[in-house]
Amino acid sequence: AQSVTQLGSHVSVSEGALVLLRCNYSSSVPPYLFWYVQYPNQGLQLLLKYTTGATLVKGINGFEAEFKKSETSFHLTKPSAHMSDAAEYFCAVSDYGAAGNKLTFGGGTRVLVKP
């Protein structure tokens, strides 16, 4: 069974500071990995995904994540936080059975950006 662990349910950063959200996964097969963001009263929006190829993946809004197989990690970073980055972030791993794409989510990390 797959699982995802996000270290830290809440993260507080200053505007302009580095954002680092940690995600570790367990999977019996090479994983497909995703980061989603949820702004207040909105749905889950895809930030970026890793499927195959380059292990450093760039997403929207200046975010990027690096797949490290040896560490079973897929940490999300952004060099300089903006007030608009305040949201909840979810890491997810995919079970890529042919029956459909079932995502297993981490517990989420809520980001607070201080001015």
Partner 1 sequence: EPEVTQTPSHQVTQMGQEVILRCVPISNHLYFYWYRQILGQKVEFLVSFYNNEISEKSEIFDDQFSVERPDGSNFTLKIRSTKLEDSAMYFCASSVGGTGANVLTFGAGSRLTVL
- Contact residues toward partner 1 (CB under 8 A) are 32, 34, 36, 41-46, 49, 51, 90, 92, 94-108
Whole-number minimum distance, CB 80 to partner 1, in Å? 26
Whole-number minimum distance, CB 71 to partner 1, in Å? 21
3-state secondary structure 76-100: EEECCCCHHHCEEEEEEEEECCCCC
**SS3 state of residue 63:** coil
Which residue number, 64 or 88, has a Cβ lying nearer to partner 1? 88
Whole-number minimum distance, CB 109 to partner 1, in Å? 12
Which residue number, 97 or 115, has a Cβ lying nearer to partner 1? 97
The C-alpha angle with vertex 18 and arms to 17 and 22, in degrees rounded to 5, equals 145
Q: What single letter denotes the amino acid at residue 38?
A: Q
Which residue number, 100 or 115, has a Cβ lying nearer to partner 1? 100
Which residue number, 28 or 42, has a Cβ lying nearer to partner 1? 42
Q: How far apart are CA 49 and CA 31, in angstroms?
A: 11
Please, which residues bridge with residue 77 across strands? 20, 64
Whole-number minimum distance, CB 68 to partner 1, in Å? 19
